[in-house]
């Protein structure tokens, strides 16, 4: 019995590179490749017969040739040289490899060490190294990692980016990462092993465990073929062949498994299958049927994994390892309608997808990313409901009755009553903001999840209040926002806790209403005048003590001073007059005139400017007594004195 691995043969990157060369030849182009386009001597030989030449560096390319960069990629110096020489370039670098190039460059730009697991002599690794802009190291295996650390003990203190060759052995990778955790904690791991490699190696392991003999088909120079051989050889007698001519003579009723490296063309796999069938005298299975089985049409609602190979404003193209061309419409990429495709995925990204519709006639598959994400999200959301974990999400829409929060790739509806701390607030202010919330209801059947922002805000406010009351002291200064007004003062939000500035504390001048001094929403500097911890009340001061007019009054306007004052108020018992800004004094009705008057309004009106004498100052109770009558009496006394003096002089003259 012969069984062929489903993942045998060309991977996406190799198929793309080889196809690019053949396509250029069909267009009549002359082609040169940097190194062999593929690690398969048969393909390389066929291309050589068609005129394809192999060069080591751009300056070797003859005039008129197109230079193809193979899927392994090259260092930046190679592409820079090609551009300097004005060569026509066709870049077939595998998207997975391109991703590693970007990581290598980024590590240097961020001042981090780039640690790369792979074979230093492999073209892919040499190309990656050519994109390193800072400190880097190439390690082949776990023992090489230990050796690196022994020779460079300071690495344990550095920040490290960790990546691997796309064809690196997955088991070795796991062992290396386990060891790295013991050696260093400040490292960031990027899983750059190609998904096709992972699947190929995993399938080879399972197939070899269930086979008597394994045949690995591929070029002896191929790294991924060598790794397949190593994996299979651990479980079964294994042979590595490049063509059917190298097959061993296997007789008897053996169970034979066949796998092939990523650089092995379908024609060679077919030749091996047919030869094995003849050897074992079994009914030959149509190879085309076997291939078609691996290329079978997908069923709708089937999950697949693909690699991003193209991005446009309206859709993303993906390779899912089958004959159909996969595409994801922009509205199937994310639950957030405001994001662009390039914000969600990048070239070479590997993503999980759900098949929405197949079109065998056109050879296309319509796929969805957001639906797969939503499937994963339900479990997370239900777990969050159970644990009452606080989640973070972005408000992407304001809808009738509430807002939509995107979190864990799920659309969570937050009713208006649960969106803010108080009802009636404008929800539009939440749009595009990051918010914390709890899940309060999940109904998978109705595809509905409900959350509450308010419950988290209340908890946060309560925690802030407790800390606030623990720390606050009299005299402490705060920056707060004016929240609301009453006739007797203004309430200031100090950050989760409100304090009140009494109207008398707003200004040294007379204030009719807090709005004369402050505006709602204004940021102000205040200080704590008094605390009532039992009732949770805070009295605040706002006016500047350095501008205290009573200090000015004491220095410049002692009792007995005569000054001009403005009448600002009239009562039955007297008139209030402004002496200096911030201080009003009382002119008692008995001190307004030198005669009896019925009421102050008979003599004075608001706005009148009058001369007064400061007769008494009560600094403790902030009271000033004024008198107009005292000035009149002083004036009369002066006049009388003057009159008496003049009379005496006249009498003396007459006596003479």
Q: Specify the range with the lowest mean pLDDT, choosing from 32-46, 151-165, 420-434, 460-474.
A: 460-474
pLDDT value for 491: 92
∠ CA(381), CA(385), CA(389), 5° rounding?
90
Q: What is the mean pLDDT of residues 76-87?
A: 92
CATH code, domain carrying 161: 3.40.1010.20
Q: What is the mean pLDDT of residues 42-56?
A: 90
Nearby residues of 596 by Cβ (< 8 Å), 6 or more positions away: none
Q: Specify the range with the lowest mean pLDDT, choosing from 218-227, 272-281, 346-355.
A: 272-281
Q: Which of 519, 544, 569 is the last residue of a domain?
A: 544
Residue 165 contacts residue 122 (beta carbons within 8 Å): yes
Q: What values do phi and psi take at 165, rounded to 5?
A: -55, 145
pLDDT value for 411: 87
Residue 317 contacts residue 334 (beta carbons within 8 Å): no
Residue 415 CA to its chain's centroid (Å): 25
pLDDT value for 81: 93
Residue 302 has pLDDT above 70, yes or no: yes
Q: How far apart are CA 157 and CA 367, in angstroms?
A: 45
Quote the percentage of the chain above a pLDDT of 70: 92
Q: How far apart are CA 419 and CA 426, in angstroms?
A: 10
Contacts 24+ apart (CB under 8 A), 500-507: 500/537, 500/538, 500/539, 500/540, 501/526, 501/540, 501/541, 501/542, 502/539, 505/529, 505/539, 505/540, 505/541, 505/542, 505/543, 506/542, 506/543, 507/542, 507/543, 507/582
User: Are residues 116 and 188 both part of a single domain?
Assistant: yes
Does residue 36 sit within a domain? yes
142 compared with 12, residue with greater pLDDT: 142
| pTM, two decimal places | 0.43
User: Are residues 510 and 448 both part of a single domain?
Assistant: no
CA dihedral (118, 123, 124, 127) in degrees, to 10, reads 110
Q: Specify the range with the lowest mean pLDDT, choosing from 204-208, 369-373, 450-454, 484-488.
A: 369-373
543 compared with 162, residue with greater pLDDT: 162
Q: How far apart are CA 245 and CA 229, in angstroms?
A: 18
- Strand runs (DSSP E) across 242-333, as ranges? 256-260, 303-311, 315-319, 325-329
User: Are residues 110 and 66 both part of a single domain?
Assistant: no
For the chain, the C-alpha Rg in angstroms (whole number) is: 44
Q: What values do phi and psi take at 147, rounded to 5?
A: -65, -40
Nearby residues of 499 by Cβ (< 8 Å), 6 or more positions away: 478, 480, 491, 492, 526, 528, 538, 539, 540
Q: What is the mean pLDDT of residues 414-421?
A: 88
The pLDDT tens digits of the residues spanning 208-241 come to: 998 889 999 988 888 788 889 999 999 999 999 9
Residue 483 contacts residue 493 (beta carbons within 8 Å): yes
pLDDT value for 437: 93
Q: Which of 325, 350, 368 is the last residue of a domain?
A: 368
Q: How far apart are CA 43 and CA 266, in angstroms?
A: 11
User: Are residues 555 and 605 both part of a single domain?
Assistant: yes
Q: What values do phi and psi take at 645, rounded to 5?
A: -65, -40
Does residue 284 sit within a domain? no
User: Are residues 12 and 77 both part of a single domain?
Assistant: yes
pLDDT value for 203: 85
Q: Specify the range with the lowest mean pLDDT, choosing from 300-304, 432-436, 644-648.
A: 644-648
Residue 286 has pLDDT above 50, yes or no: no
Q: How far apart are CA 441 and CA 388, in angstroms?
A: 11
Angle, nearest 10°, between helix axes 170-183 and 195-209?
Answer: 110
Q: How far apart are CA 408 and CA 631, in angstroms?
A: 83
User: Are residues 177 and 125 both part of a single domain?
Assistant: yes
Quote the percentage of the chain above a pLDDT of 90: 30
Residue 605 has pLDDT above 60, yes or no: yes
Residue 357 contacts residue 366 (beta carbons within 8 Å): yes
pLDDT value for 650: 43
Residue 288 has pLDDT above 70, yes or no: no
Burial of 14 (0-12, 13-18, 19+ CB in 10 A): buried
Q: What is the mean pLDDT of residues 596-602?
A: 91
Q: How far apart are CA 326 and CA 226, in angstroms?
A: 31
Q: How far apart are CA 153 and CA 137, in angstroms?
A: 13
pLDDT value for 585: 92
Residue 55 has pLDDT above 90, yes or no: yes
Residue 593 contacts residue 632 (beta carbons within 8 Å): yes
pLDDT value for 280: 55
pLDDT value for 636: 78
Number of compact structural domains in the chain: 6
Q: How far apart are CA 271 and CA 134, in angstroms?
A: 47
Residue 473 CA to its chain's centroid (Å): 38
Q: What is the mean pLDDT of residues 413-441?
A: 88
Q: What length does the chain have?
A: 656
Does residue 189 sit within a domain? yes
∠ CA(397), CA(402), CA(403), 5° rounding?
25
pLDDT value for 378: 81
For the beta carbon of residue 43, count every other beta carbon within 10 angstroms. Answer: 23
Which tokens is 405 given? 């929060």
Q: What values do phi and psi take at 434, rounded to 5?
A: -80, 130
Most confident region among 198-202, 277-281, 475-479 by mean pLDDT = 475-479
Burial of 431 (0-12, 13-18, 19+ CB in 10 A): middle
Residue 259 contacts residue 5 (beta carbons within 8 Å): yes
* Helix/strand/coil for 630: helix
Which tokens is 71 given? 């899927």
212 compared with 265, residue with greater pLDDT: 212
| Catalytic residue, candidates 124, 203, 315, 505 | 124
Residue 205 has pLDDT above 70, yes or no: yes
User: Are residues 560 and 629 both part of a single domain?
Assistant: yes
Q: Give me the chain's average pLDDT, please.
A: 84
Residue with tokens 């409900």: 450
Q: What is the mean pLDDT of residues 319-323?
A: 73
User: Are residues 383 and 448 both part of a single domain?
Assistant: yes
Burial of 583 (0-12, 13-18, 19+ CB in 10 A): buried
pLDDT value for 265: 80
Does residue 28 sit within a domain? yes
* Helix/strand/coil for 484: strand
Q: What is the mean pLDDT of residues 36-65?
A: 90
Q: How far apart are CA 612 and CA 593, in angstroms?
A: 11
Q: How far is CA 120 from CA 2, 123, 126, 129, 135, in A?
A: 36, 8, 7, 9, 15
**Binning pLDDT at 50, 70 and 90, where does residue 287 land?**
very low
Classify the C-alpha dihedral 612-613-619-620 as positive or negative. negative
User: Are residues 110 and 148 both part of a single domain?
Assistant: yes
pLDDT value for 334: 84
Residue 442 contacts residue 488 (beta carbons within 8 Å): no
Q: What is the mean pLDDT of residues 468-478?
A: 83
Structural domain boundaries, residue 527: 472-544
**Binning pLDDT at 50, 70 and 90, where does residue 643 land?**
low
Q: How far is CA 119 from CA 141, 168, 186, 467, 535, in A?
A: 9, 9, 24, 57, 73
Q: Is 656 labeled as catalytic in the residue annotation?
A: no
For the beta carbon of residue 45, count every other beta carbon within 10 angstroms. Answer: 10
Does residue 466 sit within a domain? no
Which tokens is 217 given? 């088909």
Residue 159's DSSP bridge partners are none
Residue 600 contacts residue 629 (beta carbons within 8 Å): no
User: Are residues 135 and 123 both part of a single domain?
Assistant: yes
Does residue 338 sit within a domain? yes
Q: Which of 368, 383, 414 is the last residue of a domain?
A: 368
Q: What is the mean pLDDT of residues 639-649?
A: 61
Q: What is the mean pLDDT of residues 263-283?
A: 70
User: Are residues 380 and 427 both part of a single domain?
Assistant: yes
Does residue 316 sit within a domain? yes
CATH code, domain carrying 355: 2.40.50.140
Does residue 255 sit within a domain? no
User: Are residues 126 and 42 both part of a single domain?
Assistant: no
Residue 131 has pLDDT above 90, yes or no: yes
For the beta carbon of residue 647, count every other beta carbon within 10 angstroms. Answer: 9
């Amino acid at each position: 019995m012969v069984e062929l691995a489903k993942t045998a043969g060309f991977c996406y990157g190799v198929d793309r590179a080889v196809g690019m060369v053949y396509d250029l030849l069909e267009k009549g182009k002359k082609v040169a490749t940097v190194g062999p386009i593929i690690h398969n001597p048969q393909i390389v030989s066929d291309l050589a017969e068609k005129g394809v030449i192999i060069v080591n560096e751009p300056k070797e390319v003859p005039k008129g040739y197109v230079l193809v960069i193979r899927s392994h990629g090259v260092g930046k110096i190679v592409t820079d040289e090609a551009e300097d020489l004005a060569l026509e370039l066709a870049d077939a670098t595998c998207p997975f490899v391109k991703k590693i190039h970007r990581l290598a460059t980024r590590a240097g730009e961020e001042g981090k060490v780039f640690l790369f697991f792979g074979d230093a002599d492999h073209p892919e690794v040499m190309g990656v190294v050519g994109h390193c802009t800072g400190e880097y190291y190439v390690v082949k295996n776990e023992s090489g990692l230990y050796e690196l650390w022994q020779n460079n003990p300071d690495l344990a203190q550095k920040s490290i980016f960790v990546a691997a060759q796309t064809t690196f052995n997955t088991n070795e990778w796991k062992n290396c990462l386990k060891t790295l955790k013991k050696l260093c904690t400040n490292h960031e791991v990027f899983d750059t092993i190609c998904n096709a490699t992972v699947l190929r190696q995993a399938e080879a392991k399972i197939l070899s465990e269930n086979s008597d003999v394994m045949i690995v088909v591929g070029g002896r120079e191929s790294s991924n073929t060598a790794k397949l051989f190593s994996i299979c050889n651990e479980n079964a007698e294994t042979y590595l062949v490049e063509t059917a001519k190298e097959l061993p003579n296997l007789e008897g009723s053996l169970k034979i498994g066949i796998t092939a490296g990523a650089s092995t063309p379908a024609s060679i796999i077919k030749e091996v299958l047919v030869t094995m069938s003849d050897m074992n005298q079994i009914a030959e299975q149509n190879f085309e049927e076997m291939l078609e089985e691996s290329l079978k049409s997908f069923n709708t609602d089937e999950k697949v994994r693909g690699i991003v190979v193209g991005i446009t404003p309206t859709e993303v193209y993906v390779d899912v390892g089958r004959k159909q061309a996969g595409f994801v419409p922009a509205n199937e990429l994310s639950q957030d309608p405001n994001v662009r495709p390039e914000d969600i995925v990048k070239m070479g990204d590997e993503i999980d997808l759900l098949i929405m519709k197949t079109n065998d006639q056109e050879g296309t598959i319509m796929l969805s990313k957001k639906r797969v994400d939503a499937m994963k999200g339900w479990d997370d959301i239900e777990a969050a409901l159970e644990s009452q974990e606080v989640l973070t999400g972005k408000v992407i829409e304001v809808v009738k009755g509430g807002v939509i929060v995107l979190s864990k790739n799920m659309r969570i509806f937050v009713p208006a009553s649960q969106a803010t701390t108080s009802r009636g607030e404008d929800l539009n202010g939440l749009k595009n903001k990051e918010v914390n919330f709890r899940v309060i209801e999940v109904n998978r059947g109705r595809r509905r999840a409900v959350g509450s922002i308010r419950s988290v805000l209340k908890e946060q406010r309560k925690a802030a209040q407790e800390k606030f009351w623990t720390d606050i002291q009299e005299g402490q200064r705060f920056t707060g926002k004016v929240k609301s007004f009453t006739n007797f003062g203004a309430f200031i939000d100090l950050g989760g806790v409100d304090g009140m500035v009494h109207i008398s504390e707003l200004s040294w001048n007379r204030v009719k209403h807090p709005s004369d001094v402050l505006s709602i929403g204004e940021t102000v500097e205040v200080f704590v005048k008094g605390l009532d911890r039992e009732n949770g009340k805070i009295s605040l001061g706002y006016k500047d003590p350095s501008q205290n007019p009573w200090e000015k009054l004491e220095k410049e306007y002692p009792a007995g001073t005569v000054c001009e004052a403005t009448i600002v108020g009239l009562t039955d018992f007297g008139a209030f007059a402004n002496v200096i800004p911030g201080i009003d004094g009382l002119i008692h009705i008995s001190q307004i005139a030198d005669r009896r008057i019925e009421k102050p309004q008979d003599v004075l009106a608001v706005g009148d400017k009058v001369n007064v004498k400061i007769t008494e100052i009560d600094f403790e109770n902030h009271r000033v007594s004024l008198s107009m009558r005292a000035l009149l009496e002083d004036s009369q006394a002066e006049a009388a004195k003057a009159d008496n003096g003049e009379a005496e002089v006249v009498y003396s003259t007459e006596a003479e």
